[in-house]
């Protein structure tokens, strides 16, 4: 429910700022509280008086306002909200956000917030299409910033094309979507994904065929249920989910360090295909072909990240899920693996080439828990992810037994 939720509304300096007045009215009609912030440029387009009258609240404009700071510091202002909305998001403000600049109240609030941010870009079509703007947009998407619009149409400057700000009704819908509560709201879930790369020398490495598809789908499904997701990924083919907190690593040892740094978590799902070994003493310089013969590689065992986390005595996530990619005797091997590693659930699958699962769009899994084994039908990877995310939510919320005994 959006009613009763707090929106911090940042109005930036563009001609579309006038639509912010209509937006405030609509948000309030739906029972939301709106705290407005105007940039200096925004005040050229709408007055603090009209914004304040519609919001029914004081308008904030200045980073160095002593009274404001005494009543509620700007950090607090950015945290008291449930959602931060930027209307219109100008090219200038988007550039500041992408670079992490904080030189006025609006940009400082955007840096200081720990809440989701929704932006409604609006600008001239050529500015929108400029590579610099698109670069900044990609950075913002990567940071998990949500966007609504822009629409295509005739603009105030007389040109036609994409760049016109989304209509207030569409922005309200996006706000309600961003505020939607899910069964995993307030939960932190850690997901590992992708392969690892283990260097031989600065230009060569040992890798595997994992695409990262199942881990990414799972992170998306967990995000859809409202979880905060830390996504620790090796160099995968599939791009990471934009709404997750993404930590990119290369080697298994880096992955373990990133996983430990991301704890505590309510649940951890280890979908990465981690290399079992790394090359000892990887060469600092490219290994050269020599007349003297072939190079010899020696290996050392990588840390088992799943087992390390499962067997922690302190700070073990209440639910730890591993994957088991097997090519024969799937259930038998995966059942033994669950006990050996000490995790709660194992999602087992048959990755023998005939199944087409590794790198494919579908997966046929068996869920193995303390109480028994459950075979799922062959499904698209996104559907496997949705079912698994729903199971995780039910277990964390105490609706089902974590061990699988009661459901």
Min separation Cβ 301 and ligand C5P, Å: 8
Q: Does 60 bind ligand C5P (CB under 6 A)?
A: no
Q: Does 215 bind ligand C5P (CB under 6 A)?
A: no
Identify the residue whose tokens are 């913002």. 140
User: Which of 206, 248, 240 has its CA nearest to residue 223?
Assistant: 240
Min separation Cβ 276 and ligand C5P, Å: 6
Q: Does 279 bind ligand C5P (CB under 6 A)?
A: no
DSSP state of 401: -
Q: Does 270 bind ligand C5P (CB under 6 A)?
A: yes
Among 195, 234, 322, 404, binds ligand C5P (CB under 6 A): 322
Among 98, 279, 324, 395, binds ligand C5P (CB under 6 A): 324
What secondary structure does DSSP assign to 298-318, as a single string?
A: -EEEPP-HHHHHHT-SSS--S
Q: Does 125 bind ligand C5P (CB under 6 A)?
A: no
Q: Does 252 bind ligand C5P (CB under 6 A)?
A: yes
| C-beta closer to ligand C5P: residue 118 or 320 | 320
Two structure tokens written together for 223: 């995000």
| C-beta closer to ligand C5P: residue 42 or 324 | 324
Q: Does 344 bind ligand C5P (CB under 6 A)?
A: no
Tell me how crowded residue 265 is: count the other CB atoms within 10 A of its CB: 24
Q: How far apart are CA 54 and CA 388, in angstroms?
A: 45
Q: How many residues bind to ligand C5P according to rule CB under 6 A?
A: 12
Q: Are 197 and 278 contacting, i.e. CB atoms less than 8 angstroms apart?
A: no
Q: How far apart are CA 309 and CA 103, in angstroms?
A: 41
| C-beta closer to ligand C5P: residue 60 or 323 | 323
Half-sphere exposure of 360 (CA within 13 A, CB side): 16
| C-beta closer to ligand C5P: residue 54 or 213 | 213
Min separation Cβ 392 and ligand C5P, Å: 14
What residues pair up with 248 in beta bridges, in sequence order?
Answer: 233
Among 306, 351, 385, 388, binds ligand C5P (CB under 6 A): 306
| C-beta closer to ligand C5P: residue 168 or 322 | 322
Q: Are 388 and 368 contacting, i.e. CB atoms less than 8 angstroms apart?
A: no
Min separation Cβ 252 and ligand C5P, Å: 5
Q: Please give the residues from 190 up to 209 whose contact with ligand C5P meets the rule CB under 6 A.
A: 192
Q: Does 345 bind ligand C5P (CB under 6 A)?
A: no
Q: Does 404 bind ligand C5P (CB under 6 A)?
A: no
Three-class SS state of 92: helix
Min separation Cβ 236 and ligand C5P, Å: 13
What secondary structure does DSSP assign to 98-145, as a single string?
A: HHT---SHHHHHHHH--SEEEEEE---HHHHHSHHHHHHHHHHHHTT-
Q: Does 305 bind ligand C5P (CB under 6 A)?
A: yes
Among 136, 210, 233, 302, binds ligand C5P (CB under 6 A): 302
Going by their DSSP bridges, the two strands 267-270 and 188-193 should be labelled as: parallel
Two structure tokens written together for 5: 């939720």
Q: How far apart are CA 201 and CA 170, in angstroms?
A: 52
- Of 2-10, 61-69, 94-102, 299-307, the segment contacting ligand C5P by CB under 6 A is 299-307
Among 84, 191, 274, 358, binds ligand C5P (CB under 6 A): 274
Q: Does 213 bind ligand C5P (CB under 6 A)?
A: no
Strands (E), 224-276: 228-233, 245-248, 267-270
Going by their DSSP bridges, the two strands 205-206 and 160-164 should be labelled as: unpaired
Catalytic center residues: 157
Nearest residue to ligand C5P by CB is 305
| C-beta closer to ligand C5P: residue 145 or 305 | 305
Q: Does 323 bind ligand C5P (CB under 6 A)?
A: yes
Q: Are 110 and 117 contacting, i.e. CB atoms less than 8 angstroms apart?
A: yes
Q: How far apart are CA 246 and CA 143, in angstroms?
A: 8
| C-beta closer to ligand C5P: residue 205 or 323 | 323
| C-beta closer to ligand C5P: residue 283 or 307 | 307
Q: Does 334 bind ligand C5P (CB under 6 A)?
A: no
For the CA atoms of the chain, what is the radius of gyration? Answer: 25
Phi, psi for 98 (deg, rounded to 5): -65, -35
* 91-99 and 131-142 helices, crossing angle to 10°: 50
Residues of the shown chain interacting with ligand C5P in the complex, contacts defined by CB under 6 A: 192, 252, 270, 272, 274, 302, 304-306, 322-324
């Amino acid at each position: 429910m959006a009613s009763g939720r707090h929106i911090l509304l940042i109005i930036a300096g563009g001609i579309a700022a006038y639509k912010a007045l209509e937006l405030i009215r609509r948000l309030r009609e739906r029972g939301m509280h709106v705290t407005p912030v105007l940039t200096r440029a925004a005040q050229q387009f709408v007055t603090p008086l009209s914004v304040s009258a519609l919001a029914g609240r004081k308008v904030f404009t200045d980073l160095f306002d002593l009274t404001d700071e005494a009543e509620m510091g700007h950090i607090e202002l950015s945290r008291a909200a449930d959602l931060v909305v930027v209307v219109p998001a100008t090219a200038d403000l988007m550039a500041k956000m992408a670079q992490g600049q904080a030189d006025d109240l609006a940009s400082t609030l955007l840096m200081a917030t720990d809440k989701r941010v929704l932006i409604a870009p609006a600008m001239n079509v050529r500015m929108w299409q400029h590579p610099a703007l698109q670069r900044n947009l990609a950075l913002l998407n990567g940071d998990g910033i949500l966007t609504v619009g822009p629409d295509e149409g005739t603009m105030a400057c007389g040109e036609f094309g994409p760049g016109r700000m989304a209509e207030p009704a569409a922005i309200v819908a996006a706000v309600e979507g961003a505020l939607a509560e899910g069964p995993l709201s307030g939960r932190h879930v850690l997901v590992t994904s992708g392969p690892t790369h283990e260097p031989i020398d600065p230009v060569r490495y040992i890798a595997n065929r994992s695409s990262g598809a199942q881990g990414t789908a799972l992170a998306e499904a967990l995000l859809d249920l409202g979880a905060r997701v830390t996504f620790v990924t090796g160099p995968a083919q599939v791009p990471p989910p934009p709404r997750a907190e993404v930590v990119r690593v290369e080697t298994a040892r880096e992955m373990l360090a990133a996983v430990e740094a991301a704890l505590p978590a309510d649940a951890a799902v280890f979908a990465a295909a981690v290399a079992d070994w790394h090359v000892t003493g990887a060469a600092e310089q490219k290994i050269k072909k020599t007349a003297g013969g072939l190079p010899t590689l020696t290996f050392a065992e990588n840390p088992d990240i799943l087992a390390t986390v499962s067997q922690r005595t302190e700070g073990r996530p209440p639910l730890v899920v591993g994957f088991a990619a097997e090519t024969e005797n799937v259930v038998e091997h995966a059942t033994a693996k669950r006990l050996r590693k000490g995790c709660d659930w194992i999602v087992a699958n048959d990755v023998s080439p005939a199944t087409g699962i590794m790198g494919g769009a579908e997966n046929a899994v068996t869920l193995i828990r303390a109480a028994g084994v459950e075979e799922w039908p062959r499904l698209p990877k996104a559907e496997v992810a949705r079912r698994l995310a729903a199971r995780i939510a039910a277990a964390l919320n105490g609706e089902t037994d974590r061990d699988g005994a009661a459901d």
